[in-house]
Chain A
Amino acid sequence: MKNNRIRNVLKGLSFTSAMFIFQACYGTPQDFGYDRLVEGQVTSETTGLPIKGIKVSVAGDNSYYVTTDDEGKFLMYSEKFENLVVGFEDIDGAENGSFRDLFKTVEDISESVYLEIALKDKL
């Protein structure tokens, strides 16, 4: 604690900005952490079983997407902003069953969020 105080005083006296973060010669800038982890599982509301092949995306930007695995699980990093809308869409036809799309608004703005999603059967 004391060492940190001395370090910060010296940093200030040498006009090294408190915000200054170094980068190595041939390296990258440091990651400022502007993203967040969105993960979870998609199941069928009717059977409770996991659904494979559901497209999980950040609504409004189809570029960011992953598909659920055999256990219906997904994991992706998205931009960090409030009221993130995550879309769940059945894009593989009848292959893993037919389900209605769902869009979930995530109000939680913490570093990571776990979503348990139950999709209704397509009528």
Chain B
Amino acid sequence: MISLKKYAFRQFKKIETRAHELNYLFWECTTRCNLNCIHCGSDCAKDSTFNDMPLNDFLKAIDTIEGKAPNFTIVFTGGEPLLRNDLEQCGKELRRRGFRWSMVSNGHLYNNERHYSLLNAGMGALTISLDGLEASHNWMRNNSNSFQKVLNAIELAASSKRLNFDVVTCVNQKNINELRQIKDLLLAKNVKAWRLFTIIPIGRAANNPDLQLTDKQFVELMDFIAEQRKSKDIDVKFSCEGYVGKYESLVRDSSFFCRAGINIGSVLIDGSISACPNIDRSFAQGNIYTDNFYEVWQNKFQPFRNRNWTKTGQCKSCREYKDCQGNGFHNWHGNKQNVLVCHHQKIEKGSA
């Protein structure tokens, strides 16, 4: 018999899904990047074939939103958003319309001047990636100066009381044994929140074994996060990338719930309307250049809101399905006949 807690959370997810209130929107405002990382969540490139999306095109799309949710956040993502010189203008226009905004950055161009101009323009949250100590971070970034630059950016961001700031780390073969030292480094820089990811084998990461954790290492990562959360000196958590079974209550603030297409939407560089930018682009539900953005949000997104189609491959007979529902949506790529990564299975195998 399932626990009351589990039953209540399943019902809670159903209500949230039925309501599908949009309150978190990614804007892939550029796919240009100043780095050439070994892994990239969006698989962007220095020689992006897309022009940056003009601010007015994006504004026309979000002006269709009716009954905006409180604390609606628009997240600038890329590519590297700081390559746009009009970010401050974009931010001010969003605030004028009652949206809050934030940014995901590699930190390379985040200097003193930009820090204050972005705050002056109403930036309220920021995420910066740090993928290891100096050698392992620079290896991932393919850049020998990146570590020093990102540390400067982290110091600046952590010094602001009004910024809800966190650092994210993609855990891989090169940095799995550095996690304690990375934590000490972040504490020394006064960082209050740290999110840990693993890398799913898509894009540039698909053929690089150094980027994937073994099952045993994944369990080590779960144990590390669970242990560090007890000390409360920094808010450490595992990202929402997947369902982690027995570790659910130990590594996050809330049980797993992939909100892609339920509360999370996106406007991608070509105008596509989708959910998180790392989701297979074939799931796009419309395009801002041909469709009314909010009508698409309200009336489409069926594959996101009814995930029964994910009961295939190894998910078909899985006993954890009701709590996992096919894992994070970004784990469905290509022919979508099987989930790309099953975190629960990794834990089962890694614990054996």
Contacts and interface: CB of A to CB of B under 8 A. Distances in A.
Interface string B119-131: 1111011110000
B119 A77 contact: yes
Interface stretch (B2-10, B180-188, B290-298): B2-10
Interface in B35-57: 41-42
B8 A3 contact: no
Size range of the chain A interface in the assembly: 35 or more
A123 to B, nearest CB: 32
A47 interface: no
A84 interface: no
Interface string A69-89: 000000111011000000000
Given A25-B330, A64-B119, A80-B162, A34 B124 contact: yes
Contacts of B287: none
A48 interface: no
Interface in A1-34: 3, 6-7, 9-17, 20-34
B161 A79 contact: yes
A103 B15 CA distance: 52
B325 interface: no
Nearest to B18: A3
B77 interface: yes
Contacts of A3: 15, 19
A102 interface: no
Nearest to A66: B120
B321 interface: no
B125 A37 contact: no
Given A10-B11, A24-B24, A29 B253 contact: no
Given A7-B12, A15-B5, A24 B161 contact: no
B276 A24 contact: yes
A20 B253 contact: yes
A50 B19 CA distance: 49
Contact of A14 (B12, B75, B276): B12
B73 interface: yes
B240 interface: yes
A100 to B, nearest CB: 24
Contacts of B126: 28
Contact of B166 (A7, A25, A26, A28): A28
B174 interface: no
Interface in B148-164: 161-164
A29 B166 CA distance: 7
A26 B162 CA distance: 21
Nearest to B105: A28
Contacts, number: 143
Interface in B42-95: 42, 71, 73, 75, 77, 92, 95
B110 interface: no
A84 B347 CA distance: 52
B95 A77 contact: yes
B103 interface: yes
A9 to B, nearest CB: 8
B92 A75 contact: yes
Contact of B240 (A6, A12, A13, A25): A25
Given A26-B41, A28-B73, A79-B161, 14 more contacts: A3-B19, A7-B19, A12-B8, A14-B9, A20-B253, A22-B259, A24-B75, A24-B240, A24-B260, A24-B264, A25-B240, A25-B330, A30-B71, A34-B163
In the complex, the 10 A-B pairs of residues with the closest C-beta atoms, listed nearest first: A31-B124, A13-B8, A14-B9, A34-B162, A10-B12, A28-B102, A31-B100, A14-B8, A77-B122, A28-B127
26 contacts: A14-B5, A14-B255, A16-B9, A16-B254, A21-B71, A22-B24, A22-B240, A23-B24, A24-B26, A24-B240, A25-B239, A25-B276, A27-B26, A28-B102, A28-B103, A28-B127, A28-B166, A30-B164, A31-B100, A33-B71, A33-B100, A66-B120, A77-B95, A77-B120, A77-B121, A80-B162
